[in-house]
Amino acid sequence: MSEVILSVRNLTANVDGQQILKGVNLEVKAGEIHAIMGRNGSGKSTFSKVLTGHPDYEVTGGEVIYKGENLLEKEPHERSLAGVFLAFQYPLEIPGVSNLEFLRVAYNARRKYQGLEEIDTFDFEDLIEEKLSVVSMNPSFLERSLNEGFSGGEKKRNEILQMALLEPTLGILDEIDSGLDIDALKIVSHGVNTIANSDNAFILITHYQRLLDYIQPHFVHVMYDGKIVKSGGKELALELETTGYDFLDEQQLVEVGV
């Protein structure tokens, strides 16, 4: 049996004093890809921010065990160093800091954490050139300020580039498909499929089943009002595509006792 990478039990969390997560349960094993679907405001993005430790989110209950350790006790940068990666829905623009420098500092922070020697600028440039091909990115992007003036698709590809470089154990992709045209979607999906292997795991947060045509999930979960209310295989996504989320308001709610 594969190793459990992430185990979330009864997780509750607030933003500005308002409860958004109302008891999330999820188990993710190595080699698995999970998709979390749901409407806007159901708590999907909040879940990703809580896992990665954004300071605006306050955990009020439950636990998150990542590779046998209490994830919630770690500082945000320690969670990253331990292998938890979040591809942002809205990657930030950072003027003045070059993409290359950002990538190198992040990569060396990881090396240092792993007890490895930091690598110099030249070796790093060789390494990153190789990773660029994963997302078909032009090397000229490296010289530009981080995400500054990037199009939506370029920003998302840059997120996947960072992921390819940092090789996370758990990758969380928050609406990586939003704002992408079909070509960019293919590139991004190809990137994720290249990185995914039997030792790591991914959580895809998305509204649309379209993404799942390109990245095949093992499990699909539906989030509603701060909880995962339905889980299934890939066919659940297709079902949602035809029925929409409306069914949740009626029969489903009675079933799960919301």
Partner 1 sequence: MNTSVKTLVNQPYKYGFITDIEADTIPRGLNEDIVRLISSKKNEPEFMLEFRLKAYRQWLKMVEPTWPHVSYPTIDYQNIIYYSAPKQNKEKIKSLDEVDPTLLEAFEKLGIPISEQKRLSNVAVDAIFDSVSIATTFKDKLAKDGVIFCSISEALHEHPELIKKYLGSVVPVADNFFAALNAAVFSDGSFVFIPKGVKCPMELSTYFRINNGDTGQFERTLIIAEEGASVSYLEGCTAPMYDSNQLHAAVVELVALDNADIKYSTVQNWYAGDENGKGGIYNFVTKRGLCKGVNSKISWTQVETGSAITWKYPSCVLIGDNSVGEFYSIALTNNKQQADTGTKMIHIGKNTKSTIISKGISAGNSKNSYRGLVKIGSKATGARNYSQCDSMLIGDNAEANTFPYIQVDNKTAVIEHEASTSKIGEDQLFYFAQRGISEENAISMLVGGFCKDVLNELPMEFAAEADKLLSLKLEGTVG
Under the binding rule (CB under 8 A), the answer on residue 121 touching partner 1 is: no
Pick the binder of partner 1 from 92, 117, 122, 254 (CB under 8 A).
92
Question: Minimum distance from CB of 117 to partner 1 (Å)?
Answer: 16
C-alpha–C-alpha distance, residues 104 and 96, integer Å: 15
Nearest to 52 by CA among 212, 232, 205: 205
Nearer residue to partner 1 within complex by CB, 71 or 222? 71
Under the binding rule (CB under 8 A), the answer on residue 125 touching partner 1 is: no
Choose the stretch contacting partner 1; rule: CB under 8 A; options: 100-108, 181-189, 220-228, 249-257: 100-108
Under the binding rule (CB under 8 A), the answer on residue 95 touching partner 1 is: yes
Under the binding rule (CB under 8 A), the answer on residue 256 touching partner 1 is: no
Question: Minimum distance from CB of 146 to partner 1 (Å)?
Answer: 9
Q: How many residues bind partner 1 (CB under 8 A)?
A: 31
Give the residue ranges of DSSP H helices in 133-218.
140-143, 152-166, 182-195, 210-214
C-alpha–C-alpha distance, residues 172 and 186, integer Å: 18
Under the binding rule (CB under 8 A), the answer on residue 96 touching partner 1 is: yes
Tracing tokens 């954490």 back to the chain, one arrives at 113
Q: In the β-sheet with 33-37, what is the strand arrangement from edge to edge? A: 84-87, 170-174, 201-206, 33-37, 219-224, 227-232
Pick the binder of partner 1 from 72, 81, 238, 253 (CB under 8 A).
81
Under the binding rule (CB under 8 A), the answer on residue 238 touching partner 1 is: no
Give residue 242's identity as a one-letter amino acid code: T
Nearer residue to partner 1 within complex by CB, 95 or 257? 95
Instruction: Decide if 84 contacts 51 (C-beta within 8 A).
Output: yes
Choose the stretch contacting partner 1; rule: CB under 8 A; options: 9-17, 26-34, 107-115, 192-200: 107-115
Choose the stretch contacting partner 1; rule: CB under 8 A; options: 96-104, 183-191, 194-202, 219-227: 96-104
Each as own residue / partner, the long-range contacts of residues 187-190 (CB below 8 Å, 24 or more positions apart, any chain) are 187/135, 187/136, 187/157, 188/135, 188/156, 188/157, 188/160, 189/214, 189/215, 190/134, 190/135, 190/214
Q: Which of residues 150-209 bind partner 1 (CB under 8 A)?
A: 162, 166
Pick the binder of partner 1 from 60, 94, 139, 198 (CB under 8 A).
94
Nearer residue to partner 1 within complex by CB, 73 or 199? 73
Backbone angles phi, psi at 226, to 5 degrees: 80, 15
How many CB atoms sit inside 10 A of residue 163's CB? 24
- Applying CB under 8 A, the residues found at the interface with partner 1 are 52-56, 75-77, 79-81, 85-86, 88, 91-92, 94-98, 101-102, 105-106, 109-110, 113, 145, 162, 166
